[in-house]
């Protein structure tokens, strides 16, 4: 259970009452929200979920869905947060990601009844979450490949975002959102230039501005 070792070490050395991991999906796409998730993996669930969990980018969609179901069945709990394209355009992608992560942590604490003062938040990447008060935080570079809690959060975030892009695909036919998930693939750029941006496209991102005739 290699991903468990990091979390167990943190629990033994830092002794938080509540250890949770946070990650996001969708910072790079041209369309759709950035989606953040915070995950709490009970120590008793480690043996049951470890065979299913890895960095979400290393799992196929089918394996992510299987891991998602296995985690819920084992008692893993999560909170989520979204930053929609309008917010991303207004505050920039990094600040919008912080907002989504903060919302995800607050929801998880609310759902579980855990006290912020006893929580330690493992954050994927080099940054602490802005505007998250009352919780200790530890940034973990490559956290989704090192920490069970962060990897669990990465799977939750990716599954939720992929499901939502399927909804948007039906709402905006012709863009192929269910396939490329909003990323700037050749097919997406072709559709974007042919059909123009939708309300789900990020106008602050250069390819979208070009397609809208606002930049060259």
Taking residues 77-81, report their average pLDDT: 97
Nearest to 35 by CA among 26, 47, 44: 26
Q: How many CA atoms lie within 13 A of 82 on its CB side?
A: 12
Question: What are 161's two structure tokens?
Answer: 């975002």
Range of the domain at 134: 2-171
Domain of 14, CATH number, reads: 3.30.420.10
Query: Ramachandran region of residue 103, left (φ > 0), alpha (ψ -120 to 50) or beta?
Result: alpha
Whether 127 is in a domain gets the answer yes
Does any domain span residue 215?
no
- What is the mean predicted confidence (pLDDT) over 35-40? 98
Give the chain's domain count. Answer: 1
Within a domain: 205: no
Q: Is residue 206 part of a domain?
A: no
Residue 215 reports pLDDT greater than 80: no
- The pLDDT tens digits of the residues spanning 179-189 come to 999 999 999 99
pLDDT averaged over the chain? 95
Q: Which residues contact 133 (CB under 8 A, 6 or more apart)?
A: 116
Residue 28 has pLDDT above 70, yes or no: yes
**Tens of pLDDT along 92-147?**
999 999 999 999 999 999 999 999 999 999 999 999 999 998 999 999 999 999 99
Q: Is residue 15 situated within a structural domain?
A: yes
pLDDT of 55 > 80? The answer is no
Scan for tokens 């060259």, then name that residue: 216
User: Minimal CA–CA distance to 97: which of 45, 28, 35?
Assistant: 35
Query: Between 33 and 51, whose confidence is greater?
Result: 33
Q: Which is nearest to 154 in space by CA: 39, 34, 28, 6?
A: 39
List Cα–Cα distances, 92 to 23, 36, 58, 89, in angstroms: 18, 15, 27, 6
pLDDT tens profile 149-208: 999 999 999 999 999 999 999 999 999 999 999 999 999 999 999 999 999 999 999 999
Within-domain flag for 204: no
Q: Within a domain: residue 22?
A: yes
| Residue written as token pair 């975030």 | 157
Domain contains 200:
no
Distance CA 211, CA 216 (A): 9
């Amino acid at each position: 259970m290699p991903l468990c070792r990091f979390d167990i070490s943190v629990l033994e050395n830092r002794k938080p009452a509540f250890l949770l991991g946070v990650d996001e999906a969708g910072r790079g796409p041209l369309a759709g929200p950035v989606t953040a998730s915070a995950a709490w993996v009970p120590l008793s669930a480690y043996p049951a979920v470890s065979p299913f969990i890895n960095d979400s980018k290393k799992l196929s969609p089918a394996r992510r869905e299987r891991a998602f179901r296995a985690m819920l069945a084992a008692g893993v709990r999560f909170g989520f947060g979204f930053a929609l394209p309008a917010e991303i355009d207004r505050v920039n992608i990094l600040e919008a990601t912080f907002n989504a992560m903060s919302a995800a942590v607050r929801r998880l604490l609310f759902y579980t009844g855990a006290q912020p003062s006893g929580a330690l938040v493992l954050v994927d990447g080099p940054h602490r979450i802005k505007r998250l008060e009352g919780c200790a935080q530890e940034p973990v570079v490559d956290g989704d490949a090192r920490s069970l809690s962060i990897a669990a959060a990465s799977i939750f975030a990716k599954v939720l975002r992929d499901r939502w892009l399927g909804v948007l695909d039906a709402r905006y036919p012709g863009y192929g959102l269910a396939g490329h998930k909003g990323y700037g693939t050749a097919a997406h750029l072709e559709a974007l230039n042919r059909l123009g941006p939708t309300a789900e496209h990020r106008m602050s991102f250069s390819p979208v501005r070009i397609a809208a005739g606002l930049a060259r």
